[in-house]
A and B are shown apart, each in its own frame.
Chain A
Amino acid sequence: MIRTTGLTKDYGSRRAIENLTFEVDQGEVVGFLGPNGAGKTTTMRILAGYMPPTFGTAQIAGFDVVNESIEVRRRVGYLPETVPLYPDMTVFEYLKFMADLRHLPDGDEMVENALELVQMEQRAEGYIANLSKGMRQRVGLAQALLHKPEVLILDEPTLGLDPAQVVEVRNIIREIGKDRTILLSTHILSEAQHICDRVLIINKGHIVAEDSPENLQARLVGAERSILRVRGDADELASQVAKIKGVQGVKVRPDGALEFQFAPGVDVRPQVAKTVIKSGYDLLELSPVGLSLEEIFLELTRDGAPTKKER
């Protein structure tokens, strides 16, 4: 559905992205993950038909983003990083304006459908100026969804929202993602894990890794990590946990919790729990630890680190 080949963009003498080649299949939800300034927004702007690449090509639904830009824009729903809204309009007026510019035959109905999807029917007559950031984000999403596009491009859709709003927006995206192709950018790994089938990690304009969030993590770490918190002396328990078969490394963290690793597929957590109870400790917490994005980047940019998966 989305296919780029050697996509490169220069801003003056600065190269924002270099030689990006990737594909997103129909119905896939792909996360574009990277730190600020990695080139996520640039790539998305090119795909949305906002600006042409310096070199390389990109196609959406078989149409070239430069030569058949209008056709591409018809098929894409785009939510830029700064949610583009007109504060002087009501939610309904704004979406109707967009529907008119997209020549939607039954505009009013499609606006209502989009509002229902983002759960904003109650605020249709309210002015955009009076909406909270979370609600504005939803109106932006409604705008992107309005024409039932084949492809959705969402640039940092949860940026700047409070935790409750983040959950709401993620749920909406997951719901939409059931029957659409979505490319969304984020710099939060857990977000990608929650929503995406696959993740592209981009750093300094290059794709440095590409896989499912789970595989990526497992591949990078080579082991699963868990954290164990008990009431009592953790140092003494550490030596007992280390003796359990399959446990690869145990360390006591500065906050008093134990962190241990084990090979993927050999879940040692039941044994660990039994050991804790048998030794007379009160088990307070036993939970998996994911790699933070920072750790993944450190891993990926290190020499000899596993890089892009061969397709």
Chain B
Amino acid sequence: MRNVWTIARREFRLYFISPVAYIVALLILLVTGIYFVLIVYLAASASYTMGSSTPPGTDSVIYIMAYLFLLALPALTMRLMAEEHRNGTLELLLTLPIHDWELVVGKWLGSFLFILSVIAVTLIFPIVLNRLVTPGIDQGLMLANYLGIILVAAVFLSIGTAISSFFNNQFAAFFATLAVLFFFWWVIGWPAAVMQGSGNIFNYLSLSSHFYDSLLRGTVALSDIVYYLSLTALGLFLGTVAVEIRRWK
């Protein structure tokens, strides 16, 4: 575990001197910020003209944040392993007395901690919102939303780390991650929409259904949490396998 932490700490620090990480953080904070101001403004004007309206919750901001993560998180993970390979430093890391999984988990944890700090900044939205609406926002919904977005980020980053382990070129890793995320977030849900059955396999596999249909609505089901945690573990496992494969090549 100590090695995981050592590697995670280095990755986390590295994000703070990386232009890509700043662009990602800025994009997420700027777009969610503008979106937040807009919905607050619209809700305020609606209540002014119509006399009453449902007060806005955190769900609309978190909803857009999930899409931003889909686009931006591959940029955070693309270099994690691919760049180590390109620099030749992977050879060094793989000859240190550390296990391959510790390297992969450490890399993932570094990116996860970075995105947690970005998410922490967005907590300003519910705090502001809480002061604007009476009698305050639905805190249960907010907690479920934030739990949801954190779990989604964990999965995205783990898939990105795994894909980065398979590639030598970080841009190839970026586009491959983007494609895989799009597929499991969006495309895989198409058959489910046609089939209409809520219990069908496509709906279960879709990354987004566990988010939109439950956590974003404020429902915290153990099955959804287990689903996201298992996928995160699967991504990290595949990343470790990719590193093992590199040794044999």
* Residues of A that sit less than 8 Å from B by CB: 11, 45, 48-52, 70-71, 73-74, 76, 78, 80, 82-86, 88, 97-98, 100-103, 143
Number of A-B pairs, beta carbon distance below 8 Å: 58
Q: Are A85 and B98 in contact (CB under 8 A)?
A: no
Give the interface size class of chain B.
20 to 34
State A50–B93 Cα separation when bound (angstroms).
9
State A75–B232 Cα separation when bound (angstroms).
34
* Residues of B that sit less than 8 Å from A by CB: 2-3, 6-7, 10, 14, 17, 87-99, 247-249
CB contacts (< 8 Å) of B2 on chain A: these are: 103
* Nearest-Cβ distance from residue A217 to partner chain B, whole angstroms: 33
Closest residue of chain A to B7 (Cβ to Cβ) is A101
State A71–B143 Cα separation when bound (angstroms).
46
Q: Are A84 and B248 in contact (CB under 8 A)?
A: no
* Selected contact of B6 from candidates A11, A51, A101, CB within 8 Å: A101
Q: Are A84 and B10 in contact (CB under 8 A)?
A: no
CB contacts (< 8 Å) of A52 on chain B: these are: 247-248
Q: Are B96 and A102 in contact (CB under 8 A)?
A: yes
Contacts A97-B6, A97-B10 given; indicate if A49 touches B95 (C-beta within 8 A): yes
State A74–B3 Cα separation when bound (angstroms).
14
CB contacts (< 8 Å) of B247 on chain A: these are: 50-52
CB contacts (< 8 Å) of B96 on chain A: these are: 73, 98, 101-102
State A76–B91 Cα separation when bound (angstroms).
14
State A152–B17 Cα separation when bound (angstroms).
34
State A16–B142 Cα separation when bound (angstroms).
59
CB contacts (< 8 Å) of A85 on chain B: these are: 87, 89
State A73–B6 Cα separation when bound (angstroms).
18
- The 6 residue pairs across chains A and B that have the minimum distance between CB atoms: A84-B92, A82-B88, A84-B89, A73-B97, A74-B97, A48-B95
State A102–B93 Cα separation when bound (angstroms).
11
CB contacts (< 8 Å) of A51 on chain B: these are: 247-248
CB contacts (< 8 Å) of A143 on chain B: these are: 92
* Nearest-Cβ distance from residue B118 to partner chain A, whole angstroms: 21
